[in-house]
């Protein structure tokens, strides 16, 4: 038996630890709209399905496969969705800088490579500390700050 799209969205949202309001904020709809999707009182548009899929790191078709989502709407879904937030992409760049810093410090341990990395990332991490939307993002920022400080400490 097929699962309803509303039940699938609710399960994914709960597994991710998001409230209906947090999901609503991320896809630019009201909390009531998310509630209606989850109770199958309203059918999410193709745009909304694409945004929700991205939040859960899924392809749009993977989100709706095996559900009651209409085939006619399913045929209009894109093959892929943006799966990473700006924060996640920026943190990947930070971790890349930390790997670069480690390699450079082995080549020339007397060079002060850490200053440029510190001056670039500490203010950015501080600004993200207050701009995060949910606890998962807060944990990502906290882990990045810890990794940056550990890398800088290892240089001295």
What are the tokens at 141?
């920022």
Which residue intervals of the chain are DSSP H helices? Answer: 5-16, 20-27, 31-38, 46-55, 60-64, 71-74, 86-107, 113-129, 135-155
Under 8 Å between Cβ of 29 and 91: no
- Average model confidence (pLDDT) across the chain: 91
**Residue 103's pLDDT is what?**
86
Annotated domain spans of the chain: 5-74, 86-155
* Domain at 5-74: CATH architecture: Orthogonal Bundle (1.10)
Instruction: Please compute the mean of the pLDDT values over residues 104-131 and round it to a whole number.
Output: 83
More confident call, 147 vs 113: 147
More confident call, 56 vs 130: 56
**Residue 72's pLDDT is what?**
95
Listed residue (78, 70, 92) closest to 147, CA to CA: 92
What are the tokens at 20?
């209906």
| pLDDT tens track for 9-34 | 999 999 999 999 999 999 999 999 99
Percent of the chain whose predicted confidence (pLDDT) is above 90: 70
* pLDDT confidence band for 155 (50 / 70 / 90): confident
* pLDDT confidence band for 115 (50 / 70 / 90): confident
* Inter-CA distances, 127 with 11, 60, 139, Å: 32, 32, 14
Q: Would the CA dihedral through 89, 124, 29, 134 be positive or negative?
A: positive
> What φ, ψ does residue 136 adopt, rounded to 5°?
-65, -45
Task: State which of 91-100, 101-110, 128-137 shows the largest mean pLDDT.
Answer: 91-100
Q: How far apart are the first and last CA of the chain?
A: 61
* pLDDT confidence band for 116 (50 / 70 / 90): confident
* pLDDT confidence band for 133 (50 / 70 / 90): low
3-state secondary structure of 136: helix
3-state secondary structure of 3: strand
The residue length of the chain stands at 156
């Amino acid at each position: 038996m097929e699962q309803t799209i509303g039940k699938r969205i609710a399960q994914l949202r709960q597994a991710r630890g998001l409230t209906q309001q947090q999901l609503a904020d991320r896809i630019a709809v009201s909390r009531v709209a998310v509630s209606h999707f989850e109770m199958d009182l309203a059918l999410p548009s193709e745009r909304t399905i694409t945004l929700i899929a991205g939040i859960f790191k899924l392809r749009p078709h993977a989100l709706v496969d095996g559900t009651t989502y209409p085939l006619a709407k399913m045929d209009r879904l894109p093959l892929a969705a943006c799966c990473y937030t700006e924060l996640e992409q920026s943190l990947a760049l930070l971790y890349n800088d930390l790997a670069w810093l480690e390699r450079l410090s082995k080549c020339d341990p007397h060079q002060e490579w850490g200053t440029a990395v510190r001056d670039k990332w500490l203010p950015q991490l501080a600004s993200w500390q207050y701009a995060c939307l949910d606890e998962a993002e807060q944990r990502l920022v906290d882990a990045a700050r810890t990794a940056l400080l550990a890398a800088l400490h290892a240089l001295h």
